[in-house]
A and B are shown apart, each in its own frame.
Chain A
Amino acid sequence: MKLEAKGISVAIKGCRIVADASLSISSGEMVGLIGPNGAGKSTLLKAMLGIRARAAGTITLDGRDFLTLPGRERGRSVSFLPQERRVEWRLPAYDVVMLGRYPHMSGFGGPTSQDRAAVERALQDVDGKGLAGRPVAVLSGGEKSRILLARVLAVEAPILLADEPITALDPYHQLHVMEILKERARSGVGVLAVLHDLAFAMRFMDRLVLMDRGCIVADGKPAEVLTPELLAAVYRIDAVMGSHGDRSFLHPWSRQADAAGGRDAEP
Chain B
Amino acid sequence: MKPPIPYLLLIALLLALLAALAFLSMLVGPAAAGTFELLGLMGQGEGDIAWLIMREVRLPRTALALMEGATLGLAGAVLQGFLRNPLADPGVIGVSSGASLFAVLMLYTGLSAAFPLALPVAAIIGALLCVLILQGLAGRGGVLTLILAGVAISSLAGAISQLAMNLSPNPYAATEIMFWMMGSVTDRSLDHLALAAPFMVIGWLVLAWSARSLDALSLGEEAAASLGVNVQRTRTLIVVGTAICVGAGTAVTGGIGFVGLVVPHLLRRLVGHSPSRLLLASALGGASLLVAADILVRIIAVGAEVKLGVVTALIGAPFFLWLIFKARTELES
Chain A interfacial positions (CB closer than 8 Å to B): 46, 49-51, 70-76, 78-82, 84, 86-92, 94-96, 99-100, 102-103, 105, 108, 132-133, 135, 137-138, 151, 155, 161
A94 to B272, CA, bound (A): 11
Given A82-B220, A82-B222, A84-B220, A90 and B228 contact (CB-CB distance below 8 Å): no
Residue contact A99 to B219, C-beta cutoff 8 Å: yes
CB-CB under 8 A from A92, the residues of chain B are 1, 272-273
Point out the residue from B212, B220, B227 that lies within 8 Å of A155, measured CB to CB: B227
Given A88-B84, A92-B1, A82 and B223 contact (CB-CB distance below 8 Å): yes
A96 to B272, CA, bound (A): 12
CB-CB under 8 A from A51, the residues of chain B are 222, 225-226
A159 to B268, CA, bound (A): 35
Interface pairs (13), CB distance under 8 Å: A51-B226, A72-B228, A75-B227, A76-B228, A80-B226, A88-B84, A89-B218, A89-B268, A95-B1, A99-B227, A102-B216, A108-B212, A161-B226
CB-CB under 8 A from B212, the residues of chain A are 102, 105, 108
**Contact indicator per residue, chain B 200-216, by CB within 8 Å of chain A (1) or not (0):** 00000000000110011
Residue contact A71 to B1, C-beta cutoff 8 Å: no
B275 at the interface (CB under 8 A from A): yes
Residue contact B274 to A91, C-beta cutoff 8 Å: yes
CB-CB under 8 A from B2, the residues of chain A are 133
**Contact indicator per residue, chain B 41-62, by CB within 8 Å of chain A (1) or not (0):** 0000000000000000000000
Closest to A42 in B: B222
Given A88-B218, A102-B212, A71 and B230 contact (CB-CB distance below 8 Å): yes
Residue contact A78 to B226, C-beta cutoff 8 Å: yes
Point out the residue from B84, B230, B273 that lies within 8 Å of A91, measured CB to CB: B273
Given A87-B218, A88-B218, A75 and B226 contact (CB-CB distance below 8 Å): yes
Residue contact A80 to B223, C-beta cutoff 8 Å: yes
Closest to A92 in B: B1
The size bracket of the interface on B is: 20 to 34
**Contact indicator per residue, chain B 158-184, by CB within 8 Å of chain A (1) or not (0):** 000000000000000000000000000
Q: Is the interface of A mostly helix, strand, loop or mixed?
A: mixed
Residue contact A95 to B226, C-beta cutoff 8 Å: no
Q: A76-B228, A79-B226 given. 17 additional CB < 8 A pairs?
A: A49-B226, A51-B222, A51-B225, A73-B228, A74-B226, A75-B228, A81-B223, A82-B219, A86-B220, A87-B218, A94-B1, A96-B218, A96-B219, A100-B227, A102-B227, A133-B2, A137-B330
Point out the residue from A46, A90, A103, A105 that lies within 8 Å of B273, measured CB to CB: A90
Given A90-B330, A92-B1, A95-B274, A151 and B219 contact (CB-CB distance below 8 Å): yes
CB-CB under 8 A from A74, the residues of chain B are 226, 228
Closest to B215 in A: A99
B152 at the interface (CB under 8 A from A): no
With most chain B CB atoms within 10 A of its CB, the pick from A46, A71, A73, A81 is: A71
A138 to B268, CA, bound (A): 17
Chain B interfacial positions (CB closer than 8 Å to A): 1-2, 84, 211-212, 215-220, 222-223, 225-230, 268-269, 272-275, 330, 333
CB-CB under 8 A from B216, the residues of chain A are 99, 102
Nearest CB in chain B: distance from A197 CB, A: 22
A152 to B211, CA, bound (A): 21
A92 to B218, CA, bound (A): 12
Residue contact B272 to A84, C-beta cutoff 8 Å: no
Residue contact A87 to B219, C-beta cutoff 8 Å: yes
Closest to B333 in A: A137
Residue contact B218 to A138, C-beta cutoff 8 Å: no
Given A75-B226, A151-B219, A95 and B272 contact (CB-CB distance below 8 Å): yes
Point out the residue from B217, B229, B330, B333 that lies within 8 Å of A71, measured CB to CB: B229
A79 to B220, CA, bound (A): 14
A176 to B128, CA, bound (A): 53
Closest to A163 in B: B222
A73 to B227, CA, bound (A): 9
A235 to B29, CA, bound (A): 79
CB-CB under 8 A from B333, the residues of chain A are 90, 135, 137-138
Given A75-B227, A89-B275, A84 and B222 contact (CB-CB distance below 8 Å): yes
Residue contact A50 to B225, C-beta cutoff 8 Å: yes
Point out the residue from B211, B226, B228, B273 that lies within 8 Å of A89, measured CB to CB: B273
A94 to B2, CA, bound (A): 10
Residue contact A84 to B225, C-beta cutoff 8 Å: no
A24 to B228, CA, bound (A): 21
CB-CB under 8 A from A108, the residues of chain B are 211-212
A100 to B228, CA, bound (A): 11
Nearest CB in chain A: distance from B82 CB, A: 10
A86 to B273, CA, bound (A): 15
Nearest CB in chain B: distance from A228 CB, A: 36
CB-CB under 8 A from A86, the residues of chain B are 220
CB-CB under 8 A from B269, the residues of chain A are 90
Nearest CB in chain B: distance from A144 CB, A: 11
Residue contact B218 to A71, C-beta cutoff 8 Å: no
